[in-house]
Amino acid sequence: MALVHGSTTVAGVWGWPVRHSASPAMHNAAFAELGLDWVYVPFAVDPQGIGEAVAGVRSLGIRGVNVTVPLKELVGVHLDDLTPVARRLGAVNTLFWDSGRLVGDSTDGPGFLSALGHAGLRELSGRIVVVLGAGGSARAVVDALAGAGARVLVANRTREKALPLLELGAADVVDWSEEAIGDAVSRSGLLVNTTSVGMVPDVDGMPPVPAGCLRVGMVVVDLIYNPPSTRLLRAAREAGCVVQNGVEMLVRQGALSFERWTGVTAPVDAMRAAVLAELASRTH
Ligand code: ATR
């Protein structure tokens, strides 16, 4: 844990609740790794008090904030400006200062692309990608993939909720069925699960992805990190796919926020190690 001095700069994360967040462990490890006189603290912010919390950032001189569920869609109206991606998504996960203006950004999508790069997937232009889900995470992922030139096919249990993703650049919506998803995945090189199917406590949950459509060399990403390996990821590994859970996206979105605040390249290896240690400590 960082030592706090009179000179220490404060950053933090807002959620409601916030106690499950791995971000304090991750960012304090990053500050310690680089010897920066910063500290990162959790704040439980009642959604009804979000405007007062933003006023607090201004009056208390807080230099960086991450925003998580359920505040991401609520904070933007209280800020001086939004980055183009935050404006497109209607969601903010990072507050930072730019020339005296408090700006909202979303590093989730860029963090997702950075995590894909870590898995060896850098060139997405023209590739077919299947995204499962249509919530906030899916919006960030689809926006980033479409921006990188991928042809994104979306499947969601509630089909109507997937339609707004077409406005973010998704190419098509396919049915939430083994047949339709199997057909789409068979044509794709990357499958991304953004739903909570398979997440604790639903650890036996499996999206309707037939095992036969998963192939050697395909990349399968599950944004879930609890459990570390979902049924989907186990099936994908057995089929010879390259697999990645949600830890890397968590680390990479945090790294991009860190860089916005400090102007320093984030120590991603130290951040990943801190997240893994934090998550492991919870299961014991
Ligand atoms: P996040 O912010 O993590 O994206 P979210 O906005 O709550 O979370 O979205 C959850 C996603 O998981 C949605 O796509 C949801 O599907 P619906 O739009 O049909 O609700 C999906 N999801 C959750 N539980 C599911 C289940 N049991 N089967 C299929 N999809 C599920």
Q: What is the pLDDT of residues 8-61, one digit of tens each?
A: 999 999 999 999 999 999 999 999 999 999 999 999 999 999 999 999 999 999
Q: 138 alpha carbon to ligand 1 midpoint, in Å? A: 9
Three-class secondary structure of residue 263 per DSSP: coil
∠ at Cα 232 (229, 236), nearest 5°? 95
Sequence length of the chain is 284
Q: 194 alpha carbon to ligand 1 midpoint, in Å? A: 8
130 contacts 108 by C-beta, under 8 angstroms = no
Q: Which residue has a Cα nearest atom 14 of ligand 1?
A: 133
* Nearest alpha-carbon partner for 190 in 164, 220, 215, 213: 220
DSSP 8-state symbol, 43: E
Q: Which residues line ligand 1 (CB under 6 A)?
A: 133-138, 156-158, 161, 194-197
258 contacts 30 by C-beta, under 8 angstroms = yes
Provide the terminal-to-terminal Cα distance of the chain, rounded to the nearest Å. 21
∠ at Cα 184 (183, 188), nearest 5°? 120
Task: Choose the catalytic residue: 72, 78, 151, 260.
Answer: 72
Q: Which of 73, 93, 195, 199 to mutate to test the pocket of ligand 1 (most atoms within 8 A of CB)?
A: 195
Q: What pLDDT does residue 2 have?
A: 57
Q: 230 alpha carbon to ligand 1 midpoint, in Å? A: 16
User: What is the position in ligand 1's atom list of the atom closest to the CA of 157?
Assistant: 19
Q: What pLDDT does residue 3 have?
A: 86
174 contacts 199 by C-beta, under 8 angstroms = no
Q: Which residue has the tokens 């130290």?
A: 270
Q: 45 alpha carbon to ligand 1 midpoint, in Å? A: 24
Beta bridge partner(s), residue 104: 82, 95
Catalytic annotation present for 72:
yes
The residue ranges of the chain whose pLDDT is under 50 are none
Q: What pLDDT does residue 283 have?
A: 67
User: What is the b/e burial string over 97-118, where b = at least 16 CB atoms within 10 angstroms of the residue's CB?
Assistant: beeeebbbbbbbbbbbbbbbeb
DSSP 8-state symbol, 49: G
Q: 196 alpha carbon to ligand 1 midpoint, in Å? A: 6
Q: What pLDDT does residue 279 have?
A: 96
Q: Which residue has a Cα nearest atom 9 of ligand 1?
A: 135
Question: Model's pTM, two decimal places?
Answer: 0.97
3-state secondary structure labels for all residues of 190-216: EEEECCCCCCCCCCCCCCCCCHHHCCC
Q: Which residue has a Cα nearest atom 7 of ligand 1?
A: 135
Dihedral angle of Cα 200, 202, 204, 205, to the nearest 10 degrees: -120
Q: What pLDDT does residue 282 have?
A: 87
CA atoms of 269 and 105, how far apart (whole Å): 23
Q: Which of 157, 178, 230, 253 to mutate to test the pocket of ligand 1 (most atoms within 8 A of CB)?
A: 157
CA atoms of 15 and 103, how far apart (whole Å): 18
Q: Which of 196, 200, 230 to mutate to test the pocket of ligand 1 (most atoms within 8 A of CB)?
A: 196
